[in-house]
Structure formats: C-alpha cells, structure tokens
C-alpha cells in the first residue's frame, strides 16, 4: 500500500521545484499573518482596524483586477520563458514589500506597499499556474495540486505560530526581515528549474534573456 502511494506521488523536477519555491515563499509570509493587524494598529500613525481593513481591500482588489490582464498577456506569448520570469520577478517584488514595512509610518505607506505586493502576486501567480498546469503529470492532477496546497497550508500554519512568538520576543522588524529573506530565497530556488523551462535563457544568461523579453514587449 505504501509503495503504491509513493509511486502515485512521485513528482517531476519542475513540479518539485515549483512546490518547494511555493512552500518557502508562503512559509515566510506565514510569519506575518498573525501580527500584521497588530503592527498597523500599534506602529502606524493613525493606524486603526479601519486601516487594516482598507489595506486588505487594496491588496485583494488590486490583485484581482491585475490578475486577468497579466494572464492574457502571458497567454498571448509563445513559450514559457515569459511565464518563468513573471513568476521570478513577481516573487522578488513581493519579497521587497516586507522590507518596506520597516520604513512605513503612515497608512498611505501601507496602502502603497499592499498595491506593490498585489502587483507582484498577480505576476507570480499567473506565471506559476501556467507552468504548473503545463508540467503537471497526466493522471496526477488532483494529487499534485493537493500536495502543493497541503505543503503551503502546513508551512503557513507552522510559521504562523513562530511569527507570533518571534514578534513578541524580538519585535516586528525581525519578522519583516525573515519574511523578505524567505521570499527572495523562494524566487532564487526557481533558477534550479530554469533549464527545464527555458534552456535558451540558461545558455544566454539572465541579462540577455531579459533584454530580449523587454525588446519584444515594446
């Protein structure tokens, strides 16, 4: 029985890489989940529960509005190179947001950072789902999406507990730094599957690949 289960959940390299990156990224953001509202109320000038609600609204409205046009853009272009770099830089942009919280003083700063995170996540999720869908093993669709969601859920659950403890012992700044570090690590972990996604990008190098993408976009 165990052997059949292990055989059933054997994952290809791209799916493994995507799941690992997703796990690391959301493990990091899980640190922030239990303390974000407290941070706004206690550390932001004019911060209140209303500001917390508005910050959440800015993020979700912005991400929801941006998600479809970004997806249409990626679908209009052939190959997975664009999908990969949107995923990479989307995660990277989102991972800079926690460092912005270190300097935030007013609600307007929080709203701007929430918008930037929404932009980053719209980019990242569009690229992620496109690549995951193409590389998922036939006949294992439910299993592999389930593994992805389960690993992320468990990671967020564990880091949520740790985030509250770390904030209580060391303060908000340490939490923000950890979130940013884990996010950047998640982005760079994706480079290990670049060969499978776009061998040409790996051969030509990051700078030349990005230059070509931007030239095509003009």
**For position 86, which CATH number holds?**
1.20.1250.20
Residue 186 lies in a domain: yes
Among the ranges given (27-31, 82-86, 134-138, 179-183), the one the predictor scored with the smallest mean pLDDT: 134-138
Residue 32 lies in a domain: yes
Residue 102 lies in a domain: yes
- The size of the chain, in residues, is 218
Number of domains the chain is built from: 1
Task: Please check whether residue 46 is in contact with residue 163, taking contact to mean a CB–CB distance below 8 angstroms.
Answer: no
For 170-217, how does the pLDDT look when each residue is reduced to its tens digit (9 = 90+)?
999 999 999 999 999 999 999 988 888 766 555 554 544 555 555 554
Domain region containing 67: 12-135+155-217
Residue 208 lies in a domain: yes
CA distance 48 to 23: 31
CA distance 60 to 66: 10
Residue 145 lies in a domain: no
For 10-65, how does the pLDDT look when each residue is reduced to its tens digit (9 = 90+)?
788 899 999 999 999 999 999 998 899 999 999 999 989 999 999 999 999 999 99
Residue 201 lies in a domain: yes
Residue 91 lies in a domain: yes
CA distance 119 to 146: 26
Task: Please check whether residue 92 is in contact with residue 132, taking contact to mean a CB–CB distance below 8 angstroms.
Answer: no
Residue 107 lies in a domain: yes
């Amino acid at each position: 029985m165990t052997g059949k289960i292990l055989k059933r959940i054997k994952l290809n390299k791209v799916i493994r890489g995507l799941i690992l990156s997703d796990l690391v990224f959301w493990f990091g953001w899980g640190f922030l989940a239990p303390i974000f509202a407290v941070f706004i109320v206690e550390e932001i000038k004019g911060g209140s529960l209303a500001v917390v609600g508005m910050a959440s609204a800015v993020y979700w409205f912005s991400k929801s509005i941006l998600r479809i046009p970004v997806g249409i853009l990626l679908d209009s272009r052939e190959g997975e190179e664009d999908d990969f770099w949107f995923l990479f830089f989307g995660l990277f942009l989102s991972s800079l947001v926690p460092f912005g919280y270190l300097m935030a003083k007013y609600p307007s700063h929080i709203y701007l950072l929430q918008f930037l995170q929404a932009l980053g996540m719209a980019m990242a999720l569009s690229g992620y789902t496109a690549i995951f869908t193409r590389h998922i093993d036939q006949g294992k669709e439910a299993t592999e999406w389930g593994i992805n969601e389960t690993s992320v859920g468990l990671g967020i659950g564990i880091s949520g507990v740790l985030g509250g403890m770390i904030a209580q012992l060391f303060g908000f700044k340490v939490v923000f730094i950890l979130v940013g570090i884990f996010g950047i690590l998640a982005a760079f972990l994706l480079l290990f599957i670049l060969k499978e996604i776009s061998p040409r990008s790996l051969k030509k190098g990051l700078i030349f690949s990005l230059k070509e993408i931007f030239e095509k976009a003009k």
